[in-house]
Amino acid sequence: MTVSLEIVEDPARGCAALMVGAAIAQGDIVLTGGSTPRAAYRYFVEAVDSVGVDLRQTTFWVGDERCVDPDDDRSNYKMIKESLLDPLGDRAPRFERMKGELGPEAGAADYERALREAGGPAFDLLLLGIGSDGHCASLFPGQATLNERERLVVGVPQAGLEPFVPRISLTLPALASAGRIVFLATGTSKADAVSRAFGPDAEPDPQTPSSLLVPEAASISVLIDDDAASQLHFTGEPQ
Ligand code: 6PG
């Protein structure tokens, strides 16, 4: 298992490049919600335009969803549709949408069925953001969902961070099953969580759910800017 911390000026560009690589390899890509990935999705569309990547053998999945209608401004699907699927148009690959409108339990069961019917999970590249509380997908600090080891998808009755709506989320084993996980984080608001999850003194801790992936995942790349890296102190540096 390897964790590579990559402090770069524009993490979204690096994320888009990894998406292009996975798409060229005709792999399955798990998209993340939130706001940070918008830029990465835009760069990906630009790359598909310039390189002419054939996406017909790729499937897009998603790591989590808010239990709202798909046209609600809080919907991850709405963000993905606007920044990725609509710009790709008829070149867009198959996208397995999490149906947030079904509610947490029915929505989770629906997505688990879709995953298993597709023979999954067989994720080649899995994108994640990290919350300022250290959550990833919709796995929040101290919640029982962190202990789920059998199911691939769970309902989350209460979100631990805004938007405070019920959620649907892939579980830790489903996330960890990916060939490669890419965390994307920018800004000082993520610096503490990045340090607690991936820093030199980090330990797996249910209070920082992202840290729980470190011992389980095959490969984690953490793409961060200087601000998100600002609380990472390696030995020999002034504390
Ligand atoms: C969600 C996301 C969530 C997100 C982090 C970071 O549904 O909110 O999947 O896990 O990745 O909260 O969000 P930002 O990119 O908006 O900071």
User: Which residues share a beta bridge with 168?
Assistant: 65, 155
CA distance 181 to 167: 21
Instruction: Give the Cα separation of 211 and 146 in Å (integer).
Output: 11
Distance (Å, whole) CA 151 – CA 186: 31
> What pTM, to 2 d.p., does this model score?
0.96
* Closest listed residue to residue 115, CA positions, set 56, 179, 62: 62
Do 90 and 47 touch, CB atoms closer than 8 A? no
Q: What is the mean pLDDT of the chain?
A: 95
- Residue 134, SS3 per DSSP: coil
* Residue 1 in this model has a pLDDT that exceeds 80: no
Q: Is the pLDDT of residue 92 over 80?
A: yes
Q: Please report which confidence band the pLDDT of residue 236 belongs to, taking 50, 70 and 90 as the band edges.
A: low
Mean pLDDT of 38-55: 94
Q: Could you give phi then psi for residue 16, rounded to 5 degrees?
A: -65, -40
Exposed / middle / buried, residue 209 (Cβ in 10 Å: 0-12, 13-18, 19+):
buried
The pLDDT of residue 65 = 98
* DSSP code of residue 188: G
Kindly state the average pLDDT of the residues 113-124: 94
According to the model, what pLDDT value does residue 185 have? 97
Pairing type for strands 167-170 and 64-66 reads antiparallel
Q: So where are the chain's domains? A: 3-168+180-224
Which helix H or strand E contains 17, and what residues bound it? Answer: helix 11-24
Q: Is 93 helix (H, G, I), strand (E, B) or coil?
A: coil
Q: How confident is the model at residue 2 (pLDDT cuts 50, 70, 90)?
A: confident
pLDDT on residue 120: 83
Using the predicted structure, report yes or no on whether residue 234 has a pLDDT greater than 80.
no
**2.60.40.420, 3.20.20.390, 3.90.1640.10, 3.40.50.1360: CATH of 3-168+180-224:** 3.40.50.1360
Asked if pLDDT for residue 51 goes beyond 90, the answer is no
Q: What is the mean pLDDT of residues 85-103?
A: 97
Query: What's the rounded Cα separation, in Å, for the pair 74 and 178?
Result: 26
Q: Is the pLDDT of residue 107 over 80?
A: yes
Indicate the DSSP class of residue 139.
B
Measured from the Cα of 190, ligand 1's closest atom is 17
Distance 237 CA to ligand 1 centre (A): 30
Residue-wise pLDDT for 120-155, tens only, equals: 898 999 999 999 999 999 999 999 999 999 999 999
Residue 12, pLDDT above cutoff 70: yes
If you take atom 12 of ligand 1, which residue's CA is the nearest one?
131
Query: What's the CA-to-centroid distance between 137 and ligand 1, angstroms?
Result: 7
Pocket test of ligand 1: the residue of 136, 156, 170 to mutate, having most ligand atoms within 8 Å of its CB, is 136
Burial of 70 (0-12, 13-18, 19+ CB in 10 A): middle
Q: Please name the residues in contact with 14: beta carbons below 8 A apart, sequence gap of 6 or more.
A: 6, 8, 223
Mean predicted confidence (pLDDT) in 18-23? 96
Per-residue pLDDT, 237: 54
* Mean pLDDT of the 198-221 span: 96
Amino acid 127: pLDDT? 98
